[in-house]
Chain A
Amino acid sequence: MSVPEELYYTAEHEWVAISDATARVGITDYAQRALGDVVYVTAPAQGTRVTAGDPCGEVESTKSVSDIYCPADGEVTEVNPEIDEDPGLVNSDPYGAGWLFKIKLDSGDQVPPGLLSATEYTALTAEAQQ
């Protein structure tokens, strides 16, 4: 299972890449494996105000559906246009082409509060597998 060092994580299995006061958000490799083949993603629309910890979308797979929890406060600036056409990108490249949306962060260049480091997230998933 891949957990890139440079990213931040939530306990609900989203990852966050921060640059220029903007967070790019997706779901982790662990999450996509647990879900199985993703068939449909509902992401928050561009321009939506989002609040950390709130459900803001859904990832639907062959066997189940789960909420996407917003990792930070801010405004959605972009939604990955490729995902609607090819939701399988979430499985094949969860940290790359499978990104879901971008948020302009209220915290600016500061890391939003409450996010986990790669080490912390790895520990959390190891626990879940026990």
Chain B
Amino acid sequence: MPDPQSPALRRTPLAAVHAGLGATMTEFAGWLMPLRYGSETAEHNAVRKAAGLFDLSHMGELMITGDGAAAVLDYALVGEASAIKPGRARYTMICAPDGGVIDDLIVYRLAESQYLVVANASNAAVVAAELAERSDGRGAEVRDRTADYALIAVQGPRAAAIVASLTSTDLDQVRYYASYQATIAGSEALLARTGYTGEDGFEIFVGPQEAAPLWEALTEAGRGFGLVPAGLAARDSLRLEAGMPLYGNELGRDVTPYDARLGRVVNLDKPGDFVGRAALAERAQAAPTRVLVGLAGQTRRVPRHGYSVLWNGEPCGTVTSGAPSPTLGRPIAMAYVTAEMAAEARSAAGTSQGRLAVDIRGSAEPAELVPLPFYKRPTPN
């Protein structure tokens, strides 16, 4: 267990709130973060059925400002940042020259010449350094503003009703992957309709001193809606069910966006060069050697990160993430497997019974290929 007194760990502006709620804290990417407040399964289910409140202040906020901001990001990232309209956001990636993923990002265009890039906590410093290097001489400034922002997420089918009760902003205007300057419970905030749970929801950026009052206001407003605080454990199982990749598991320097089924984020048609272009263009043409697949366990034992996937008893891949799925009631996993095996297993669908398994601590536990995502939220009427 982490030493809560350790001075080496960074604390979010909500550390005292988590202590007051009796959270189990964990070390994550150099931060002391809430892992769970009570039962992580109950937190997971609350997000699926009502709403959950998350502290995501460990995420990196990088501000890119200047007349050259759009051009810098077009060159630095695999997507076309200049095509994002002010007030809109996009999921994208920053790659190395060899096409390997340095991080996956959400890019918000706040104004014509101002972008907010949200990076994973574990990669924020690397992304900031890469962006600074890639912006050199292109007329934009990159600043790491992580310490200037708290980030609070409200996720779940009741999230909109809860946030609506605290703002005069018409939330119908704030579409999925849009952001809006809004006053929420008296705090000036950047309100974004984004998330990492597979549900509708919001991510709210505020100044550090506004974090605790906003958390309290949301808690109060959520009381009648079944809102509960939710920790990183629930966040991980929610994103896994939603088939969303996690850097360090499905994504890494040795993985291209194409391997991770996210080739759609790479825009090879945008004008001008960008870092990784040549390697990614080549990769886009080549037949994949490995593919990311979804697995469902047929026993109750759980495939976990690093376990071998077996096809006819032979290793053919590795589990990247696995967990018992509260929504499906069985273990689920994502895994990289050889393209050959995936093709064979798909063509053998139905008769593949018993041939696909995960090596769970020495025992071959039967599994089956299932389409990703594991969970899709019911479409609103």
Contact = CB atoms under 8 A, between A and B. Distances in A.
B13 to A, nearest CB: 25
Interface in A46-96: 58, 60, 62-65, 91
A2 interface: no
A83 B281 CA distance: 54
Interface residues of A, number: 16
A36 B361 contact: no
B237 A40 contact: no
A130 to B, nearest CB: 7
A40 B233 contact: no
Interface string B306-348: 0000000000000000011000000000000000000000000
Contacts of B300: 39-40, 60
A60 B297 CA distance: 14
Given A37-B41, A40-B302, A62 B233 contact: yes
Nearest to A125: B1
Contacts of A63: 40, 233, 323
Contacts of B302: 39-40, 60, 65
Interface in B266-308: 300-302, 304
A71 to B, nearest CB: 22
A45 interface: no
Nearest to B237: A62
B359 to A, nearest CB: 14
A60 B330 CA distance: 13
B39 A91 contact: yes
B159 to A, nearest CB: 23
Given A62-B324, A65-B302, A128-B1, A37 B361 contact: no
Nearest to A42: B301
B137 to A, nearest CB: 46
A65 B304 contact: yes
B3 interface: yes
Contacts of A39: 300, 302, 324
Contact of B361 (A62, A64, A65, A128): A65
A91 B36 CA distance: 14
Contacts, number: 41
A130 B3 contact: yes
B24 interface: yes
A21 interface: no
A60 B301 contact: yes
Interface centre among B3, B35, B302, B323 (most CB of A within 10 A): B302
A44 B155 CA distance: 41
Contacts of B304: 64-65
A36 B233 contact: yes
Contacts of A128: 1
A62 B40 contact: yes
Interface string A103-130: 0000000000000000000000000111
B1 A34 contact: yes
Contacts of B1: 34, 128-129
Interface in B1-21: 1, 3
A33 B24 contact: yes
Interface in A1-47: 33-34, 36-37, 39-40
Nearest to B39: A37
Contacts of B35: 36
Interface of B: 1, 3, 24, 35-36, 39-41, 233, 237, 300-302, 304, 323-324, 361
Interface of A: 33-34, 36-37, 39-40, 58, 60, 62-65, 91, 128-130
